[in-house]
Amino acid sequence: MKTVQNMVGMILVCVSATWICGNGIALSDDRGIISARVPEKIEFTRHVLPVLSKVGCNSGSCHGALAGKGGFKLSLNAYNPAGDYFAMTRQSRGRRIELADPGRSLLLTKPTGAVAHKGGLRLQVDSDDYRILADWIANGAQGPSKTDAKLDSMEVLPNEISLDLGESVQLKVRALYSDGRTEDVTKWARFTSSNEPVLSVDERGKIKVVGHGEAEVVVWFSSHLAMSKIQVPFDHLIDDEVFQHAPRNNFIDELVLAKLRSLNLAPSPRCDDSTFIRRAFLDTIGMLPTPAEVIAFTQNDSPDKRETLIDGLLNREEYVDYWTYRWSDVFLINGKRLRPEAIKAYYQWLRKNVEDNRPWDEIVREVLTAQGSSYENGATNFYALHQTPEEMAENVSQAFLGLSIGCAKCHNHPLEKWTNDQYYAMANLFSRVRAKGWGGDARNGDGLRTLFLASTGELDQPLTGRPQLPTPLDGVPMAFDDTGDRRVHLATWMTARENPYFSRSIANRVWANFMGRGLVENVDDMRISNPATNEPLLASLSTFVIRNDYNLKSLMRAILESETYQRSSNPISDNLEDDRFYGRFYPRRLMAEVLLDAVSQVTLVPTEFKKIAYDGADIKDTNEYPLGTRAIELYDSAVVSQFLSTFGRNKRDIVCECERTNKPSMVQVLHLANGTTINEKLMSGSSCVSAAMKLEPSEENTRTIIRDAYLKTLSRPPSKIEEQQLIQVFSDVNDESRRAAIEDLYWSLMSSREFLFQH
C-alpha cells in the first residue's frame, strides 16, 4: 500500500511541476486559454485559502464546522489564516504536508481521492486549484506573513447590466491588493443569485436569465463581498406618456416611477376614497374608521381632503397607542422578562417619547446611555433584557442598525463584511456596564435594578485571549484607558448624520409598516448581500430622515401623501407580475393586534385581556387590564390571548422581526370559522347584532342594517348587486331566525379577505 501511495505521490508531483514556469504559474481554463498569471511565490492567504474556500473545505458542513471533521478543523471560510496554517502544517505531527514529497501530502491525496476521503472528490489532479496547492507545498509551504499584501477590495464586472430573457453573461471578479496588484480571481470566487426566479449563476460566474425582474449576483472572495446588479425588463409595451402623465406628489413617486419605467411596469391608478381612508386609518393608528368618518370623507369634495385626513391621523391619541406598541417590539417590552413595575416604567418611558414626537436619534441615544433605577428611568430596562456585552452589541446592532452581527461572534460573518475582531471590538463598548439588584427574571426579585458604569473592565476575544479596542462597527476606536462612557461614544457614532446604517434602518422600518414590505426584507436584515429593491429610493428616504432631524412623523406624512401609497391594490395587465417594485399597493393580512381590535370595534364587544402574574414559580392569570383596553394598548406581550397567538403576534423574546408573522394558516381559518372570538362577540347581548335587532323588520331597516354592516367592517357601502342579493336573503327570513341572519351577515363580512387584509 505504501508503495502505491509513493507512486501516486510521484505522479502528482510531476503533474504539478510541469506548470511551474519562469515568472510564475500559467493558469488555463477548460479550453486551454490562459486566464490569469500568479506570482512565482504562492502566498498562503492570497492563493491557498481561496482555493480551499472555493472547493468547500472550510465550509460549515466540512472542516469549517465548529468541531471540524475527521480531526481536522479549519476556520469557517478562512477567517483565521494563522490558525488554519497551524492546523494544516503542525497538527497531527505535520502529516498533512510532505515538503519532500508534495504529492503524498494529505492536503492533496484526500480531496483528489487518492486515499479515502469522507468529503468525496474535491480536486482534480489536472486542475488549477491542485496546481496552486502543489506549488505552495513544493516551495516550502510558507505561512502568512505580516509583509503579505492585504486584500483591499474587490470588484465585479459588469457591475450593473440590463439583459433580456434567455441571455447569458460571464462575470469577471478582480481583487485589488495593498501592494497595488490586481488579480483576476473569478475562478476562486463564489457566486449566488439573490433572486433565482430571475437569474441563475453557475460556480464559474456565468449568469443565465430565466425570468423578468431584477436580481443581484452576490460574489464572495476571501471574506470580501461585492455584487453585480442585473435588470431584466418585462415585455410590456408601455407608452412613455403613461409615465410622463403619471401623478407625482413627492420624491417617492419620482423614484418609484423611474424604477417602474426601467422595468416596463405600469403603475396602477389611484385607489378610491373608501379604500384610502380604511388603509390610512389601519396603517397610522391601527383601527378602522367609523361609518360616520367614512361617509364624511367620501362626501367631501375638497381637493386636499386626503392631506387633511393624514394630518389629523398623525395627531390623534390612537397614533400614540399604535406606534408605542409598534416600537415596543423593537425595545422588547415583555412581562415574562421584566417585573410589573419595571415593565410599566419601560412602557411609559417609550410612550412619552412617542407622544412628544421626540426625534428617533434622541430616543436611541437615551436608551443606549441610560443609567439609574429601573423604576425611575424606564430606559434602563433595555439593559435588564440584554445582560452580557455580546448580547448588548448584537441587539443594539439589530434593533437600531438593522444589522445581524451574531455570526461574527465565532468567526467572520459569512454573509457580511463584519469580522470576528469587529464583533468583539463592538461588544467591548459595553464591557463596563454593571447593575445592582435583579430585574431580568420576572419570577424573581422585585425588578428594581440600578444600572451604573464601572471604571474598569474589558471583554477578551476568545481567539486571542486579549481585548479588542472598544470600537463601533465602522467607527473610531477608544483607548483602553479612556474613562469616558463608551456607550456615549457608540451613540455619537450611531446617530451621526454620516452613519448610513442608522437612518436607512429606521426609514426601512417605517416604509414597511405602510407599504407592506420593506425596501429591504426582512427589515432588520440590511446586510450588503441583501440589497434594496430600489436603492435610490432607500437612500433618498434615509436622507429625508436626516434632513428632517429624525422626525418620524415627517417621514410618515411623506409616505402617506405619495401616489405610491395611494395606488390601488388591484393589478393591471402591465404590472400583474410586480411584487417588489410598488407598481401597486400590496395586500397583506392585518397584524394580529389590529385585527382583534377591529373585531371588537365592529361587534361593540371589547376583549377581556388577562395579564400573566407570577407568584413564586407558579404562573397565574389575573385581570389587570380594564375592560375596554385595546390589544394595541397592551404594554405586555405576555398577555394571554389565544387569538393573538394564533395570528402571529410578536412574542418579544428576541430582537428580530421574524418573531411576528402575518402569514395566513389553516389554524387561523378554523379559529375564524369555529372559534370563540367572533362568534361569542356576535352572540353577546351588547353586540352590534343586538343593536340591529332593535330595528323593526322592514325593507328599509334591512337596507340600513346591511349598509351599516358594510361600513363598519369594510369601510364602504355595499354594491347594488351585494345589497340586492342580501335583501333577497333577508326577505326569506322569519322573525325567529332574524338574529341568526344578522349574525351570519357580520360573520361573513369579518371572515372575508376584504376585512382580514389591508388592501
- Containing 352, the helix (H) or strand (E) segment is helix 340-355
Q: Is 326 helix (H, G, I), strand (E, B) or coil?
A: helix
**Per-residue pLDDT tens digits for 71-95:** 888 877 777 888 888 888 888 777 8
Most confident of 267-276, 328-337, 528-537, 644-653: 267-276
Is the pLDDT confidence value at 336 over 60?
Answer: yes
Is the pLDDT confidence value at 8 over 70?
Answer: no
Residue 28: predicted pLDDT: 37
**Per-residue pLDDT tens digits for 661-714:** 878 888 988 888 888 899 999 999 999 999 999 999 999 999 999 999 999 999
Residue 414: predicted pLDDT: 66
Is the pLDDT confidence value at 442 over 70?
Answer: no
Is the pLDDT confidence value at 101 over 90?
Answer: no
Residue with cell 494529505: 106
Is the pLDDT confidence value at 278 over 50?
Answer: yes
Asked if residues 173 and 182 have their Cβ atoms less than 8 Å apart, the reply is: no
Whether residue 197 has a cis bond before it, omega within 30° of 0: no
Between 40 and 718, the higher pLDDT residue:
718
* Residue 231: other Cβ atoms inside 10 A: 17
DSSP state letter for 484: S
Residue 246: predicted pLDDT: 94
Is the pLDDT confidence value at 443 over 70?
Answer: no
b/e per residue, 171-191, with b = 16+ CB within 10 A?
Answer: bbbbbbbeeeeebbbbbbbbb
**Per-residue pLDDT tens digits for 345-374:** 999 999 999 999 999 999 999 999 999 999
Q: Kindly state the average pLDDT of the residues 640-650.
A: 87
Query: pLDDT tier at 612 (50, 70, 90 boundaries)?
Result: low
Starting at the earlier edge strand, list the strands of the sheet with 172-177. 151-157, 172-177, 182-184
Is the pLDDT confidence value at 52 over 60?
Answer: yes
Q: Kindly state the average pLDDT of the residues 331-354.
A: 90
Q: Kindly state the average pLDDT of the residues 207-235.
A: 92
Q: How many helices (H) and strands (E) does the chain have?
A: 29, 22
Between 255 and 698, the higher pLDDT residue:
255
- Containing 437, the helix (H) or strand (E) segment is strand 433-437
Helices (H), 410-551: 420-427, 486-494, 500-515, 535-547
Average pLDDT, the chain: 87
Between 478 and 660, the higher pLDDT residue:
478
**Per-residue pLDDT tens digits for 157-186:** 999 999 999 999 999 999 998 988 888 999
Residue 76: predicted pLDDT: 76
pLDDT > 90 in the chain, percent: 57
Among 379, 397, 332, CA closest to 636: 332
Asked if residues 320 and 285 have their Cβ atoms less than 8 Å apart, the reply is: no
Between 272 and 122, the higher pLDDT residue:
272
Residue 377: predicted pLDDT: 94
Residue with cell 479550453: 31
Judge residue 246's burial from the number of C-beta atoms within 10 Å of its C-beta, 0-12 exposed, 13-18 middle, 19 or more buried: middle
Is the pLDDT confidence value at 402 over 50?
Answer: yes
Torsion of CA 61, 66, 68, 72, to 10 degrees: 140
Q: Is 696 helix (H, G, I), strand (E, B) or coil?
A: coil
Residue 40: predicted pLDDT: 58
Is the pLDDT confidence value at 285 over 70?
Answer: yes
Q: Is 415 helix (H, G, I), strand (E, B) or coil?
A: coil
Query: What size, in residues, is the chain?
Result: 759
Q: How far is it between the farthest Cα atoms of the chain?
A: 104
Query: pLDDT tier at 640 (50, 70, 90 boundaries)?
Result: confident
User: Domains plus CATH for the chain?
Assistant: 2-138 (no CATH), 151-232 (2.60.40.1080), 251-315+500-588 (no CATH), 319-494 (no CATH), 679-758 (no CATH)
Asked if residues 217 and 199 have their Cβ atoms less than 8 Å apart, the reply is: yes
Residue 224: predicted pLDDT: 83
